[in-house]
Amino acid sequence: MNTNATLPNILFILSDDHGAWALGCAGNREIETPNLDRLAASGMRFTNFFCTSPVCSPARASLLTGKIPSQHGVHDWLAA
C-alpha cells in the first residue's frame, strides 16, 4: 500500500428543498442561480438520483447515514 498517495478532496454541497429543474445550469431561464451554476461548472453535477422519502427529514437522515428510513428510524419531519 502506498502511504504517500494523495486522497481526493471531496466537498458535497446539497441545495435543500430545491428541485433540479430550478437551476440555471439545468436550463431554467427564469430562476437565476449564479453561484450554484458556477459550482456546477467547476465541479461534478449529479443529474440522476433516488429519493428515499418524499418527506425532508427522513431523506436528509438517509443522506447522512446511508440507510433507508426503516433502518435509521426517522419516518416523518422533525421540528426545529
Which residue, chain included where needed, has cell 430545491? 18
**Alpha helices (runs of H) in 1-80, residue ranges in sequence order:** 34-42, 56-65, 69-72
| pLDDT values of the chain reduced to their tens digit, one per residue, 80 residues | 667 788 888 888 878 778 878 999 999 999 999 999 999 999 888 888 788 888 889 999 998 999 999 999 999 988 87
Pick the closest to residue 53 from 65, 42, 43 (CA basis). Answer: 65
In the chain, what are the domain boundaries? Answer: 13-49, 51-80
CA 31, 37, 39, 43 torsion: positive or negative?
positive
The predicted model scores a pTM of 0.64
